[in-house]
Amino acid sequence: MKRKKIHKITKRNSSKKRFFILLPLFFVLFLVSLWMAFLVVVSPINLDETQTATFIIPKGQAVSIIASRLEEAGFIKNPLAFRFIVKKDGLAKKIQAGSFDLSPSMSTAQVAKKLTQGTYDVWVTIPEGWRREEIADSLSTQELDNFDKEEFLQLTAGSEGKLFPDTYLVPRQISAQQLVNLFQQTFDKKISKGLASDLENTNYSLNEVLTMASIIERESKGYDQMRKVAGVLWKRIDIGMALQVDASLQYIKGYDVAQDSWWITPTAADKQLSSVFNTYKYPGLPPAPIANPGLNAIKATLNPVNTGALFYIHDRQGEIHFGNTLEEHNANVAKYLR
């Protein structure tokens, strides 16, 4: 009996020894398999397909979204593997916005590294409410090798209002003419075609809509506020009352060297400026836009809200206050500006 017991104990100990010997082996095999699987998922999708395609990364796009888009575009096999490489190699803050030529013959690591190298394009942002001179000034500071400011100003004479505000990705070699074409093509797409139904149903010409929209862009903020201001200003037009908007005076005065601004606060004396753009002296709309309005301002112009008000002011915090009568308007002035 003792021999059998000793034999069982010996057999049990032997099994434990084999288990502890095989456990590290299994672990090593697991790691090797994991590594092999990783190598597969980060390998090129197709080594024979060397033709490149453009992949664009917008400003501020998260690495997780970039990874998913790369997979969808057929440049990598696994977005998690891409994110792992980006984190392992410390590339997250080095990935640039712009356009890149990528190929399915590139490995995931090669793709990740490529996205950190200098893009051959430049992101150009045109804010809503800028006049063409401001746009020209801004473009002249960009890394645009062939841009000529004076040529741009000559080409855009008479185009105020149609240089559509947006963020554009453009080649560094783009010319002034090509930029003008791009801005106006975007205008045609988003306004002439995008708002075709609204434009057809309005009683105003495109120039009148853009002129009013340019004023509304400078005089208000946010779509809801823009619609209310549009209601006030169109009502003034309908009854033959002068618009009396400060933005028109700012446009007349132009660039102020001392304040380094195209839009300085007008004075009481400025209301007597001799110009057809002076909405204090001349009723109706100015002859042309005073700036380049964005989509919301144009939509608000076409879809005004009539609150019954004929007046509005902005307080020192930028909040707007409406008045139906001159008495209400004067009360608002006394309350919020004195």
Domain assignment present for 45: no
Rounded distance, CA 136 to CA 153, Å?
A: 7
Domain assignment present for 163: yes
CATH number at residue 61: 3.30.1490.480
Q: Are residues 188 and 162 in the same domain?
A: yes
Cβ proximity of 237 and 224 under 8 Å: no
Q: Are residues 237 and 252 in the same domain?
A: yes
How many domains is the chain partitioned into structurally?
3
- pLDDT band of 58, cuts 50, 70, 90: confident
Domain assignment present for 18: no
Q: Are residues 245 and 330 in the same domain?
A: yes
- In sequence order, which residues have a C-beta less than 8 Å from that of residue 295 and are 6 or more positions away? 190, 191, 194
Q: Are residues 103 and 156 in the same domain?
A: no
Domain assignment present for 85: yes
Q: Are residues 254 and 302 in the same domain?
A: yes
- The domain in which residue 110 lies consists of 53-114
Mean pLDDT calculated for residue range 272-282: 95
> Does the pTM of the predicted model rise above 0.85?
no
Domain assignment present for 75: yes
Rounded distance, CA 163 to CA 184, Å?
A: 6
Mean pLDDT calculated for residue range 115-127: 86
Q: Calculate the CA 206 to chain-centre distance.
A: 25
- Encoded amino acid at 337, one letter: L
Per-residue pLDDT tens digits for 235-272: 999 999 999 999 999 999 999 999 999 999 999 999 99
Q: Are residues 223 and 325 in the same domain?
A: yes
Domain assignment present for 226: yes
Q: Are residues 237 and 331 in the same domain?
A: yes
What values do phi and psi take at 98, rounded to 5? 150, -165
Q: Calculate the CA 82 to chain-centre distance.
A: 26
Q: Are residues 109 and 130 in the same domain?
A: no
- Picking from 21, 96, 19, the residue whose alpha carbon sits closest to that of residue 55 is 96
Domain assignment present for 329: yes
- Picking from 204, 201, 297, the residue whose alpha carbon sits closest to that of residue 247 is 297
Domain assignment present for 6: no
Q: Are residues 84 and 131 in the same domain?
A: no
Q: What is the pLDDT at residue 247?
A: 96
Per-residue pLDDT tens digits for 68-100: 999 999 999 889 889 988 998 999 989 988 888
Q: Are residues 110 and 72 in the same domain?
A: yes
Q: Are residues 105 and 135 in the same domain?
A: no
Mean pLDDT calculated for residue range 138-143: 94
Q: Are residues 135 and 73 in the same domain?
A: no
